[in-house]
Chain A
Amino acid sequence: MQSEAKTLGDVAAGVAPAAIENRTGIGRRADSLFGLLTLVSGSLVLIVLGFMVVSTTNTALPIFSSEGLSFVTSSNWNPAAGNYGILAFIYGTLVTSIIALVIAIPVSLGIALYVVEAAPRWVRGPITYAVDLLAAVPSVVYGLWGVFVLLPLFLQPAVALLSEYLGFLPIFAGPASGLSYFGAGVVLAIMVIPIISSLSREVIRTVPDADRYAAYALGATRWEMIRGAVIPRSRAGIVGAVMLGLGRALGETIAVALLVGSATRIDPSVVRPGYSMAAVIANQFQEASGDHIRALVGVGVVLFAITILVNVAARLMVWRMVER
């Protein structure tokens, strides 16, 4: 509350006469005016979202109609020749995001379970704080750090090892490059871990203690308690958290643009360079003009559609979880 100490009487003396005076006139009008103002501001969210879809789709429309379905089914992207097929970018966005989730899901769940179920009280705060710090770092800083620190320190040795020992599998076939789907996926994983782990932490906290004691009373070890009591109760919320992390990974731009290797092709090997939808927009926009820009806007529309689907699904899951 406000610091100026008003007694109830002061407040009454200030407010009451004005209110009585206004009961029929200005006060009520001010109320409805204010209500209207807030309604307009609230609707702005919907208006802006609608306007976003219309404006971008409208700009990309010539490309959509000239390319037709081949816009999303062809991987022939050659702006100089007027060919705009974005399948390679869609593929890269999905592959980098999947790599990010494969790494981030176990790590995030491990952190969340440790903090809620296993950690001594004194380390909970610092761990939570450190992980939240990851969420505050801007993506361009991740990109810079990824290119100049993570790439020589970890990514290049990692892809070299993967292609040397697992190179017989098509997904790890060489020649390996640190700037690759894998490199982008690793940095994406670091970026989505704070999202997935903090939401999972909240969800796991909502599991009633009674369930835990019941499992222990049956002689369960801590891990059996987690598997039998905690995971089933929080599964829907965890899936929602993962989907939100996926939404973030799909749309992440700068870090991926710096690490994915910028090669327009569909490569089954994750240790070779590729591209993503968001990255191609960021990398090519400044040199683009005319139809090329319209095509990049079209890439954005497809990306938007995919992330909206993922986000709506995730929100519905989290909402249903909260309602229960």
Chain B
Amino acid sequence: MMGHVPSTGESAAAKVSDINSARPAGRRLWTNRLASAAMVGAVLLAVIPVGLILYYITVKGMAAMSWEFLSEPTPFSFRRAEGGFLNGLIGTGIMVGLATLVSVPLGILAAIYLQEFGRGLLANLIRFFSDVMTGVPSVFVGLFVYTAFVLPFGFGAVMGAAALAIIMLPIVVRTTEEMLKLVPLELQHGSFALGASKFQTIIRVVLPSALPGITTGVLLAVARAAGETAPLILTALGSLKVTTTLVGEPISALPLLIFDGARNPFAAGQERAWAGALELLALVLIFTLLARIVASRSKISS
């Protein structure tokens, strides 16, 4: 290779235009400028909504945020100004927690199968359909849990958690598998050379070294599940009470309460929805941020 390779097109273009006869002229030059302007325009078009969303959620959310909002359940009327989303916060906590407890071990085991044991048609099918499953509409997952579990057992936290777990499972499987792929084979060979069995190698060598990456995937899956609304309408249904009952009693969640607030015409209900959106967005962004921190840590250590 050449000694100095320019990393962006910029310097190469500059060199070309140094040669007078080769300088792009007239229409070609203007097309190029127009294209560059269009690219910058596209970026602005995407950045404007980011700014507007963060601005309005923060301003309108903070205006309605209070200790009462965080510590009181929702009142029975959208007209009433008091109360908050405690019922939703607890419901979201319970359902996302249960979903994580189920989907993370299963997802990690499935990823170990794909990476360490599985080969041939079955492994490829599982890999392919995990990818496809991440694209299944979440409302359909809700319909499935409704037909399979809510019809016989009623609405409840476990049903909502089941829907969230199904949404999280393929995310955990695919991100964990990607992380397991990155574990150097030499580590495994070293372990085998010491006489360790495959089980011992996976548990003591492979998983610990892939742990930061797996944690990142899990945190992103949790963030995704915490924001899901549609499947919970069909499985948790929603409730104005603070409840910790797991089966047989409808339960609320932050997204459900925000959805209700957005659909009603009364100012008090809408203000609570803004505060709820701030609370939910803060939760989701904390998990996303944690995921990034863990991911960047793992890069440093490896």
Contact = CB atoms under 8 A, between A and B. Distances in A.
Interface centre among B36, B41, B173, by most chain A C-beta atoms within 10 angstroms, is: B36
Contact of B143 (A39, A131, A224, A300): A300
B76 interface: no
B281 A253 contact: no
A168 interface: no
B185 interface: no
A153 to B, nearest CB: 8
Interface stretch (A49-57, A70-78, A82-90, A155-163): A49-57
Interface string A119-139: 001000001001101101111
B41 A223 contact: no
Given A134-B50, A221-B24, A143 B259 contact: yes
Contact of B138 (A107, A115, A226, A253): A253
B32 A253 contact: no
Given A38-B110, A251-B138, A226 B128 contact: no
Interface residues of A, number: 109
Contacts of B280: 138, 140-141
A271 interface: no
Contacts of A153: 52
B135 interface: yes
B179 interface: no
Contacts of B255: 138, 140, 254
Contacts of B41: 110
Given A51-B148, A117-B9, A141-B258, A134 B46 contact: yes
What DSSP secondary structure best describes chain B's contact surface?
Answer: helix
Contacts of A235: none
Given A138-B280, A222-B32, A278-B137, A118 B173 contact: no
Given A59-B147, A303-B140, A136 B230 contact: no
A303 B140 CA distance: 8
Interface residues of B, number: 108
Contacts of B67: none
Contact of B262 (A38, A127, A140, A244): A140
A45 B49 contact: no
A260 B280 CA distance: 24
Contact of A224 (B28, B114, B148, B288): B28
Nearest to A187: B49
Interface stretch (B78-86, B93-101, B239-247, B269-277): B269-277
B114 A42 contact: yes
Given A31-B197, A300-B139, A140 B52 contact: no
21 contacts: A1-B301, A27-B197, A38-B116, A41-B109, A42-B122, A52-B136, A55-B147, A110-B42, A111-B39, A115-B43, A117-B8, A133-B54, A137-B281, A138-B227, A141-B53, A216-B13, A222-B36, A223-B31, A254-B230, A296-B143, A307-B135
Q: Which 10 A-B pairs have the closest CB atoms?
A: A110-B42, A251-B137, A138-B227, A19-B195, A38-B113, A41-B109, A42-B113, A253-B230, A223-B35, A114-B39
Interface of B: 5, 8-9, 12-13, 15-16, 22, 24, 28-29, 31-32, 34-36, 38-43, 45-47, 49-50, 52-54, 56-57, 60, 105-107, 109-110, 112-114, 116-118, 122-123, 125-126, 128-133, 135-141, 143-144, 146-148, 151, 166, 169-170, 173, 191, 194-200, 202, 204, 208-209, 223, 226-230, 233-234, 237, 255, 258-259, 261-263, 270, 273-274, 277, 280-281, 284-285, 288, 301
